[in-house]
Chain A
Amino acid sequence: DQQVKQNSPSLSVQEGRISILNCDYTNSMFDYFLWYKKYPAEGPTFLISISSIKDKNEDGRFTVFLNKSAKHLSLHIVPSQPGDSAVYFCAASANFGNEKLTFGTGTRLTIIP
C-alpha cells in the first residue's frame, strides 16, 4: 500500500519557467512533509519541509504548498534552472520530529535550456 504517491514519473520544463511537482498521501497521521532532491550516485539532499499546521512554506526559489483536506502537497520551483534537473522525492512522517520517513517513488525533473 503506497501511502505517499508521486503520480508523475517524469516532468520536463523550460529553463526560467515554473516547475510544479505533485505528491498525494493517504495516511491522515502524517503531520510533517519533506522534499528531497537526488542526483545520480548521491544520497537524497533535503530541500524544504512543511508541517501540517501550515499551508505554505517558502525558501528562495522553492515553495511547498500543503492542502490537508485533499491530502495533497506540491513543490514549486521558480524560476527553474538547469541545475534543478534531478529526481525529486516527496516524504512524510507521523509524529512531528520523527525521522521515520515514508517516501514516494520520485519524479524525474528535466530542465530544458
Chain B
Amino acid sequence: ETGVTQSPTHLIKTRGQQVTLRCSSQSGHNTVSWYQQALGQGPQFIFQYYREEENGRGNFPPRFSGLQFPNYSSELNVNALELDDSALYLCASSSTMNTEAFFGQGTRLTVV
C-alpha cells in the first residue's frame, strides 16, 4: 500500500507568479484535502475533493483552485502569488470508509 506523496518537496516562486502542487493519494482513497500550514500555526483547511468534485472550501480566495483526477490524484493551483502564501502545503487523503486523513510530507513554498 503506497502512502500519500506530494511533489515537489520545495519550491521558490516570485510574487505574482502561478504555482501548481501535486498530490498522489493513498491507494483506495477517493477523497483529497489540501491544507496550508504557515510557520508556527496549525494546518488550515483550503478545500476538499471527492470523486473529482469540490466538496467544501475553507476561507481562501478564488486564486486558490484545485483539481482531482479519475485516479484520485490532485493538484492545487495558486495564481498571483503573494508573500503571505509562503507556507507548507499539505495534502491528505481518506476514504469514505475511514475517518482518519493520511497526510503527505508536504510542499514547502517560498514566495519572494
Contact = CB atoms under 8 A, between A and B. Distances in A.
Contact of A43 (B41, B42, B104): B104
B101 interface: yes
Contact of A101 (B6, B45, B96, B106): B45
A21 interface: no
B104 A97 contact: no
B9 to A, nearest CB: 9
A103 B33 contact: no
Contacts, number: 62
A110 interface: no
B99 A49 contact: yes
A43 B40 contact: no
Interface residues of B, number: 26
A4 B42 contact: yes
B103 A43 contact: yes
Interface of A: 4, 6, 32, 34, 36, 41-46, 49, 89, 91, 93, 96-106
Interface of B: 4, 6, 31, 33, 35, 40-45, 48, 56, 58, 90, 92, 94, 96, 99-106
13 contacts: A36-B103, A43-B6, A43-B103, A43-B104, A44-B90, A46-B101, A49-B100, A89-B43, A99-B31, A99-B33, A99-B101, A100-B58, A105-B42
